[in-house]
Structure 1
Amino acid sequence: MTALIPARHSLTFRLLTAQLAVVLISLLAALIVAALVGPAIFNSHLDLSGPIDPRQTDFHIQEAYRDANYIALAAALPTAVLSSIGVSFWLSHRLGQPLWRLSRAATAMSSGDYQVRVPISDVDKEVAALSLAFNSMADQLEHTEELRRNMLSDLSHEMNTPLSVLLVYVDGLQDGMVEWDADTHAVFAEQLGRLSRLTSDLDDVSRAQEHRFDLVYSTVAIGGLIHNAAGAAAGSYQEKGVALEVTGSDSTELIRVDSQRFAQVMANLFSNALRHTPAGGKVHVRVLRQGVGTIVIEVIDNGEGIAPEHVKYVFERYFRAKRSDSDDQSGSGIGLTISRALIEAQGGTLTAESAGLGKGAKFTIRLPLLSN
């Protein structure tokens, strides 16, 4: 959620202004009282002094001055107290309302209501910033909860399919309807392999979260890695009828990576591009040098693209945006999450961009070149 903090004065400024207002009101009350009662008191004391006597005159002038001050202070003190009470009530009301709304929203969120939001307060910058931060947190929690629900649904589906097949074959073997032969062995091997890959993916995404990959580094030419990855994916592309074009597979630029983990990343990117590119489409892989110390690998497809609001989520675990009615939803939904974690663990970056639905997507890896 994007929102702007209202251009209001800060809480510090408002409190200081309130205190100054109390002081000014008190001084104003004292001045008004002194101006109103001072001359009358002074004249009454002169009348009391009788005939002109310098000593008596000085005494009554001092008495008049003192009495006027006492009366002014007596009027200013209750005025200051009442002003302070009024300002305090006003500030507490202004601050209390948005804080009460935040408290109520936090209570609702703790009860599982992740759709609750609070209006951005116009009281001051601090309260507005707090409201904005709360709404941002609520957006993230709501999104995380949605991913969690999708994860449970997807994992249930991913596990249910091979388990259902295995259970059918087990029942068939028990009833004598199915014989243990090469075909049955192949089915068991395929479905158990699928379950094994799923558990391996779950372990990888856990490692990605905790940044605890065990990497075995070696110095290799980037061109050879890309050539091998493209060769491994070529069969799937031919089967679906998607053209695969590779530029720069002859590059001899050296990088220091874990070759197996890098191959895993490229396999995920090739698979992702194929999944979202229809038959007759094209995927282009380019190897470029950027500046003096960076190698860039781009995987570009002209397939279904990604909605602008979904681009920032494509690397989150279990996130799979529905791009079209024919979108292939196979896979565990964590390949890209693992891929970015692996690239970052090796000192690089993996980013995604798309011009929108129907306009393809580009995934870009940047890795440091091996220094001379």
Structure 2
Amino acid sequence: MFQTLRSKILFYLLLSSMIGILFVSFFMQWGFEESFKNYLDRNRDKQINRIITEIEKDFKKNGHFTADPVFGLLHEHAMTDQLYFQLYDRVGQLQMDSSNIRGMLNSLGLAEPEPNGEKWNSASYTLRVDDQIIGQLVAIYPVGLIDDEYNFLKTIQLYIYAAVCLTILLSILFSMLFSKKLTTGLNKVSFAANELQQHNLSIRIPLSGLPTEVKQLAISFNNLAESLAKGEMLRKQFTGDLAHELRTPLATLRSQIEAYQDGIWDPTPARLQSSHEELMRLVRLVNELEKLLAAENPQIRLEKVEVEAGSVLAALWEMFVPLFKQKGVHLHIEEPEKELTFSADKDRLMQILSNVLNNALKYTPGGKNVTISVLTEKEGYVGFKVTDEGSGMAEDDIPHIFERFYRGDKSRDRKTGGAGIGLSIVKALMEAHQGFIKVKSRINKGTSVILWFPEDDE
């Protein structure tokens, strides 16, 4: 029982609704009865005070008790309100009594017979005129409600019970509709999750009509499905690109070795050098893949130390000046105005900056400039900015340049452009340092890469 979420939601909604309805109806009925009884008591007190006032007024006028108009008032209350009076003088002699009227009415069939065990209340009041006691008035009335009062209270109770029943029906109806609406969204998420488990990566949850909380869950699910679909696409692309990268040098080596075996080619030094170059292409590709796997290892350990930005620039200058001079590209180093230190793994840092500088050198023609400088305008970070005057790239290519084997310009020669793994290594190592990268580029204008490193070791 109550195995499904909808049945549990429906049960608890109905339970809370029923408890609320019962409490409200109980307090409404109890409060109305108490208020009604208090109203009747106050009204009875007013009637008794009116009788006392009339009796004292009549006695003061006539000097003794008279039947007119006092007995008329007593008779009226006895006939209509079941409020009976007994009037005694100062010596205790009974002067007037309206309590026997009920017996007369019963004998004539003009009143409801007295129920067995009916209880009566009585209250005595002292009568005074000019501070002199003139007698005593005893008021007699039944305990509880009389006929009209009882019928009125029952009618009100009947309306309350009808309202309670209607409210219960409405609560059942709205609880069923609400639980269905809520669980419908969750059922969509459950169905989509099962589809995703069956490798249907195109499944998405429609967001229209979902509650806010379920909509947030659906958005998170859609983002997850999008990431998985993108990951699957990148995996397939990586497999295809890797096969393509391996196929070219392997095909070349195979054809050359077969030519040696068949005697078509003589193993001259020049031909052996060509075969060796193709072999080294394979070696470099494998080495870069190993570096990428090491950089993307979630358990990678960085040996962080305090590094001074100026010394990093000096080391890069010594390392790259010969390569830049060989190609005819001008390398400019902009030293920071003050000493700047930050926490980083020095070997990994040099690997990151070397890959970025190599990339800038590859795509910058001779006679152009490459500049590397240090930035400090972002609080808590030290940045290295590498700007080249190379061929640049399209705006649409920038989000993908850190993917494995990606090349924005498909026509680039692979011997010039490399294997397309260097920037993937840069991204992985930057994430390991908890830093981030910003890239701006314009075609035929150049590219600017900013690498932000946190100052403190967290």
Q: TM-score, normalised on structure 1?
A: 0.70
**3-state DSSP of counterpart to 1:354:** strand
> What's the counterpart of residue 451 of structure 2?
365
- Counterpart CA distance in 2 for 1:216 and 1:128 is 43
**3-state DSSP of counterpart to 2:242:** helix
Matches within 5 A, 1:1-372: 23=20, 49=112, 55=120, 57-61=142-146, 67=154, 71=158, 74-210=161-297, 211-212=299-300, 221-231=311-321, 233-234=323-324, 237-238=327-328, 243-248=329-334, 261-276=348-363, 279=365, 282-288=368-374, 290=376, 295-302=382-389, 303-307=391-395, 311-315=398-402, 317-318=403-404, 320=406, 322=408, 324=409, 326-327=411-412, 330-343=417-430, 345=432, 347=433, 349-354=435-440, 360-367=446-453
Deviation at 1:74, TM superposition (A): 4.6
Paired amino acid for 1:304: G
Residues 368/103 of structure 1: CA separation in 2 closer, same or farther (3 Å cut): closer
Deviation at 1:92, TM superposition (A): 2.5
- Counterpart CA distance in 1 for 2:111 and 2:444 is 101
- Counterpart CA distance in 2 for 1:206 and 1:325 is 25
Deviation at 1:145, TM superposition (A): 1.5
Paired amino acid for 2:321: G
What are structure 1's unaligned runs of at least 5 residues?
1-11, 40-45
CA deviation map 1:182-201 (0-9, x unaligned) = 22332333222222222222
Contact between 1:147 and 1:319, CA under 8 Å: does it hold in 2?
A: no
Deviation at 1:295, TM superposition (A): 5.0
Deviation at 1:227, TM superposition (A): 0.8
Q: How many corresponding residue pairs?
A: 338
Residues 301/138 of structure 1: CA separation in 2 closer, same or farther (3 Å cut): farther
Residues 216/198 of structure 1: CA separation in 2 closer, same or farther (3 Å cut): farther
Deviation at 1:173, TM superposition (A): 1.8
Paired amino acid for 1:354: K
Q: CA RMSD in A?
A: 4.7
Paired amino acid for 2:426: S
**3-state DSSP of counterpart to 2:143:** helix
Q: TM-score, normalised on structure 2?
A: 0.59
Paired amino acid for 1:245: L
CA deviation map 1:136-170 (0-9, x unaligned) = 11221122122111111110111111111111122
- Counterpart CA distance in 2 for 1:49 and 1:176 is 136
Deviation at 1:252, TM superposition (A): 9.9
Residues 77/331 of structure 1: CA separation in 2 closer, same or farther (3 Å cut): farther
Contact between 2:437 and 2:450, CA under 8 Å: does it hold in 1?
A: yes
> What's the counterpart of residue 4 of structure 1?
none
**3-state DSSP of counterpart to 2:404:** coil
Q: Which has the higher contact order (CA 8 A, sep 6+)?
A: 1
Deviation at 1:209, TM superposition (A): 2.0
Residues 73/335 of structure 1: CA separation in 2 closer, same or farther (3 Å cut): same
Residues 123/257 of structure 1: CA separation in 2 closer, same or farther (3 Å cut): closer
Between the two proteins, what is the percent identity of the paired residues? 24
Contact between 2:327 and 2:366, CA under 8 Å: does it hold in 1?
A: no
Deviation at 1:51, TM superposition (A): 8.0
Deviation at 1:356, TM superposition (A): 5.9
Residues 216/49 of structure 1: CA separation in 2 closer, same or farther (3 Å cut): closer
- Counterpart CA distance in 1 for 2:395 and 2:290 is 29
Contact between 1:304 and 1:359, CA under 8 Å: does it hold in 2?
A: yes
Deviation at 1:267, TM superposition (A): 3.2
Deviation at 1:175, TM superposition (A): 1.0
Paired amino acid for 1:301: D
Contact between 2:383 and 2:451, CA under 8 Å: does it hold in 1?
A: yes
Contact between 2:316 and 2:354, CA under 8 Å: does it hold in 1?
A: no
What are structure 2's unaligned runs of at least 5 residues?
1-8, 37-81, 83-109, 121-140
CA deviation map 1:109-156 (0-9, x unaligned) = 223332332222444321111111112112211221221111111101
- Counterpart CA distance in 2 for 1:92 and 1:338 is 50
Contact between 2:21 and 2:167, CA under 8 Å: does it hold in 1?
A: no
Paired amino acid for 1:138: A
Contact between 1:298 and 1:364, CA under 8 Å: does it hold in 2?
A: yes
Q: Which has the larger radius of gyration?
A: 2
- Counterpart CA distance in 1 for 2:273 and 2:421 is 27
Deviation at 1:293, TM superposition (A): 8.6
